[in-house]
Amino acid sequence: MTGFLTRAMDSKEKIMIYYMDSKGKVSQRIIRVVDIDDDKVLAYCYYRKQVRSFKLDNILSCGYIKRSVGA
């Protein structure tokens, strides 16, 4: 997963993550990775509209955002 996050950071691409907070609530977030530390990811969160810190252990999955192609 850190390899994917590193590639997303290098390409400055928006990605989607599923994240579990400290209370066990799962949320879907669209983020742009700013920095990766040993145990956390610093990213701009488009849901909260601010830079947030996400624990790597609490990121359940991540992937690219599918872009729709118009006719």
Closest CA to 49 of 32, 35, 71: 32
pLDDT at 57: 95
2-64 fold: SH3 type barrels. (2.30.30)
Whether residue 56 contacts residue 1, with contact meaning beta carbons closer than 8 Å, is answered with yes
Annotated domain spans of the chain: 2-64
**Encoded tokens for 26:** 């799962």
CA atoms in the 13 A half-sphere facing the CB of 7: 7
- Tokens 């992937």 belong to residue: 63
Find out whether 33 and 1 touch, Cβ atoms under 8 Å.
Answer: no
CB-CB neighbours of 13 under 10 Å: 12
pLDDT tens digits, residue range 14-71? Answer: 999 999 999 999 999 999 999 999 899 999 999 999 999 999 999 999 999 977 666 6
